[in-house]
């Protein structure tokens, strides 16, 4: 089982927070300070949840105060009107928050862009209206009094609020260091690449949203049973905007940064309360200072400074020693049968009369192809011939206007990319798609199924990436990124590996290394479909070649047959080819 670690900066900040809170508890007697600290702790729980969502999707919610309010009012209603115990009120709050977050997340997180912001904004406004207008249930603007308290006194509740915050923060840090947390980060950085690795992006985004909403709901439950009085103005849109600001100041998606942002922006207004006329000015001034001088937030800036200091002292992150030199790439033998699944009973991949249109432009017309297991195929053609579009259809990123995609006779035309990847159809992209913030090894772990990491370790040596195992992918060379993308695709043990211009931008030596890898992978059971503009690369490695021209199959055959086909010669020389009506599909 992989050991989970918390970074030194996070560990230091948590230790500092623990010591500071212990000092406060034993040496402070001012109830007002404990009140402020309790509010900081409760808001920090909600901001921690918000940072989970930001880290997983790269999107923000301007509606988490609504879940804060739902958690508070639900528990207040069932404990006061129904006489339920406080723990039952907590369960009721979390159940309703869970239900409402699912209803909100499922339709909005399927979309891209800022739909989540608009949906959560509208949701928060609706909840605020309900809390204000339904006076017979919520008390309306006058508020809801008489809520039973968990603990009497600010100092006693301080133990509950801070210990709860510590538990939530620790759980969150462990989550973000787990495979799920790495998938969250990968989704934020590149949704296409993570879907091609067999990950259900929608499910993880919904999970992140629901989990973050539960954090806010639980904080609301604690707030209601701490203050013993709640009113709608506590849960309005400005509270949601305040939490987003706290996340921005501390560092968006940075868990311990959220604690810093919450502490600063909650305590500052309280300490400046006597300068009431300057309150907004100081608050805005601090926010501008943070955005100008610390655009990534306070915690990431501190982390970056510490990293640069370590580098200046000659400290480097640990990596494995480079073995054998890259001249031997692809020559390290993998265990037989551990890569692909091709055998005599494997599944052929077929396209039946596939067509694709974008508006009035026809990209592909009546394409019928069969890829037999255990073969290396080359897909060539001039720019705009439809090669990448065909890859997108095979892997599920684009749905054809007509026709079917079949795997072993089963229609997979309507399956999303992640399900096709799980069936053994992996791919790389025309432009290298990586996750810059994740390490090289983490790329392979994400694409792998459950089990030990021995196969991923083997792939690191096979692709000569062991020396950059713990290096963020954004810091490795272009050629190493090419290798990493192929390794990530192979990490899922595919039947079919679709390589979209793997040699683009490489020199001759690097192209030869890629060719060596392709041949080795083929020997280990992977059926390869290769797109490349380098004719020498394609003709020297493939068994069968398919030529596309103007969205149609011009010819298909062995490399020798294709090289000497008159229509192929004409197409590549830019001369007139057979008319579309003469080509039969």
If one compares 385 and 501, the residue with the highest pLDDT of the two is 501
178: Cβ–Cβ under 8 A, 6 or more apart, which residues? 4
The verdict on 291 and 378 lying in the same domain is no
User: Does residue 565 sit within a domain?
Assistant: yes
Q: What is the overall mean pLDDT for the chain?
A: 83
Q: Do 291 and 381 have their domain in common?
A: no
Q: How confident is the model at residue 59 (pLDDT cuts 50, 70, 90)?
A: confident
The proportion of the chain whose per-residue pLDDT surpasses 70, expressed as a percent, equals 80
For the ranges 116-125, 243-252, 454-463, 483-492, the lowest mean pLDDT is seen at 243-252
pLDDT of residue 109: 80
pLDDT at 338 over 60: no
Encoding tokens for residue 147? 């809520």
Based on the domain organization, do 181 and 282 belong to the same domain?
yes
CA of residue 136 relative to chain centroid, distance: 43
**Is residue 316 domain-resident?**
no
Q: CA-CA distance, 52 to 105, in Å (whole number)?
A: 14
More reliable by pLDDT, 324 or 441: 441
pLDDT by residue (tens digit) across 564-574? 888 777 766 55
Q: What is the mean pLDDT of residues 163-172?
A: 91
Report how far residue 35's alpha carbon sits from residue 41's, in angstroms, rounded to the nearest whole number.
10
CA distance from start to end of the chain: 52
| Confidence tier at 409 by pLDDT (50, 70, 90) | confident
Q: What is the pLDDT of residue 339?
A: 56
Residues 294 and 379 in one domain: no
pLDDT of residue 217 exceeding 50:
yes
Domain stop point among 307, 324, 356: 307
- Classify each residue of 403-423 as buried b or exposed e, where b means 16 or more C-beta atoms within 10 Å of its C-beta: bebbbeeeebeebbbbebbbb
- Domain membership flag for residue 106: yes
Domain count, the chain: 2
Which residue among 283, 307, 331 closes a domain?
Answer: 307
Phi, psi of 134 (to 5 degrees): -85, 70
CATH of the domain at 162: 1.10.3470
Same structural domain for residues 279 and 428? no
From 272, 307, 342, the end of a domain falls on 307
What's the pLDDT at 583?
37
Distance between CA atoms of 486 and 490, rounded to whole angstroms?
A: 6
Do 146 and 279 sit in the same domain of this protein?
yes
In a domain, 198, yes or no: yes
Highest mean pLDDT, choosing among 4-8, 210-214, 287-291: 210-214
Instruction: Annotate 420-439 with three-state secondary structure.
Output: HHHCCEEECCCCCCCCCCCE
Residues 6+ apart with CB under 8 A from 378: 530, 531, 532, 538, 539, 541, 542, 544, 545, 546, 559
pLDDT at 336 over 50: no
Q: What is the CATH number of the domain that holds 552?
A: 3.40.50.300
Pairing of strands 544-549, 376-380: parallel
385 and 278 within one domain: no
Higher pLDDT, 268 or 521: 521
| Half-sphere exposure of residue 107: CA atoms within 13 angstroms, side-chain side | 6
Write out the residue range of the structural domain in which residue 505 sits.
374-397+416-582
pLDDT of residue 440: 94
Lowest mean pLDDT among 404-408, 453-457, 463-467: 453-457
Q: Report yes or no on 176 lying in a domain.
A: yes
Q: Are residues 422 and 301 in the same domain?
A: no
Question: Does residue 551 lie in a domain region?
Answer: yes
Q: Is residue 455 part of a domain?
A: yes
Asked if 385 and 269 sit in the same domain, the reply is: no
Same domain, 108 and 201: yes
Same domain, residue pair 246 and 129: yes
Look at residue 512 and tell me whether its pLDDT is greater than 60: yes
Do residue 282 and residue 383 come from a single domain?
no
Is 226 a residue whose pLDDT tops 70?
A: yes
Residue 352, φ and ψ in degrees, nearest 5: -115, 110
Look at residue 289 and tell me if it is in a domain. Answer: yes
């Amino acid at each position: 089982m992989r050991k989970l670690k918390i970074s030194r900066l996070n560990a230091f900040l948590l230790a500092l927070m623990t010591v500071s809170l212990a000092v406060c508890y034993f040496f402070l007697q001012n109830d007002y300070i404990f009140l402020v600290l309790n509010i900081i702790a409760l808001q920090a729980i909600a901001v921690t949840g918000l940072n989970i969502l930001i880290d997983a999707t790269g999107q923000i919610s301007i509606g988490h105060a609504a879940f804060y309010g739902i958690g508070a009012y639900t528990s207040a209603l069932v404990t006061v009107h129904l006489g339920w115990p406080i723990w039952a009120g907590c369960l009721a709050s979390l159940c309703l928050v869970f239900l409402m977050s699912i209803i909100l997340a499922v339709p909005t997180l399927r979309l891209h862009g800022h739909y989540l912001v608009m949906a959560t904004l509208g949701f928060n406004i609706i909840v605020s209206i309900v809390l204000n207008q339904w006076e017979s249930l919520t008390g309306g603007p006058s508020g809801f009094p008489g809520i039973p308290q968990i603990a009497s006194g600010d100092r006693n509740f301080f133990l509950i609020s801070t210990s709860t915050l510590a538990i939530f923060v620790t759980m969150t840090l462990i989550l973000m260091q787990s495979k799920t947390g790495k998938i969250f980060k990968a989704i934020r950085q590149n949704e296409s690449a993570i879907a091609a690795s067999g990950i259900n992006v929608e499910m993880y985004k919904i999970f992140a949203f629901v989990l973050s909403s539960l954090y806010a709901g639980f904080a609301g439950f604690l707030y209601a049973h701490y203050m013993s009085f709640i009113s709608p103005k506590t849960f309005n849109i400005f509270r949601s905007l305040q939490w987003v600001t706290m996340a921005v100041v501390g560092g968006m998606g940075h868990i311990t940064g959220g604690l810093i942002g919450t502490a600063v922006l909650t305590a500052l207004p309280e300490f400046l309360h006597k300068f009431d006329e300057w309150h907004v000015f100081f608050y805005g001034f601090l926010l501008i200072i943070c955005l100008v001088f610390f655009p990534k937030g306070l915690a990431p800036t501190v982390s970056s400074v510490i990293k640069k200091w370590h580098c200046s002292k000659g400290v480097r992150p640990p990596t494995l020693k480079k073995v054998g030199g890259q001249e031997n790439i692809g020559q390290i033998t993998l265990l037989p049968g551990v890569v692909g699944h091709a055998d005599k009973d494997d599944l052929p991949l077929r396209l039946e009369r596939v067509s694709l249109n974008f508006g009035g432009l026809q990209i592909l017309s009546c394409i019928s192809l069969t890829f037999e297991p255990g073969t290396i195929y080359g897909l060539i053609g001039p720019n705009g011939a439809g090669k990448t579009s065909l890859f997108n259809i095979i892997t599920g990123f684009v749905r054809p206007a007509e026709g079917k995609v079949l795997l072993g006779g089963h229609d997979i035309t309507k399956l999303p990319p992640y399900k096709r990847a799980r069936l053994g159809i992996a791919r790389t992209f025309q432009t290298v798609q990586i996750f810059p913030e994740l390490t090289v090894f983490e790329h392979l772990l994400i694409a792998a199924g459950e089990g030990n990491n021995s196969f991923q370790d083997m792939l690191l040596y096979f692709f000569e990436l062991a020396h950059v195992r713990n290096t963020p992918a954004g810091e490795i060379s272009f050629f190493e990124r090419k290798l990493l993308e192929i390794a990530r695709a192979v990490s899922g043990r595919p039947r079919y590996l679709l390589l979209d211009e793997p040699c683009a931008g490489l020199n001759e030596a690097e192209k030869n290394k890629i060719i060596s890898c392709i041949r080795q992978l083929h020997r280990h059971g992977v059926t390869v479909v290769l797109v490349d503009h380098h004719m020498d690369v394609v003709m020297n490695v493939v068994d069968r070649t398919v030529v596309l021209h103007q969205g149609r199959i011009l010819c298909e055959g062995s490399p020798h047959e294709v090289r000497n086909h008159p229509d192929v010669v004409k197409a590549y020389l830019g001369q007139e080819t057979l008319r579309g009506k003469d080509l039969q599909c």
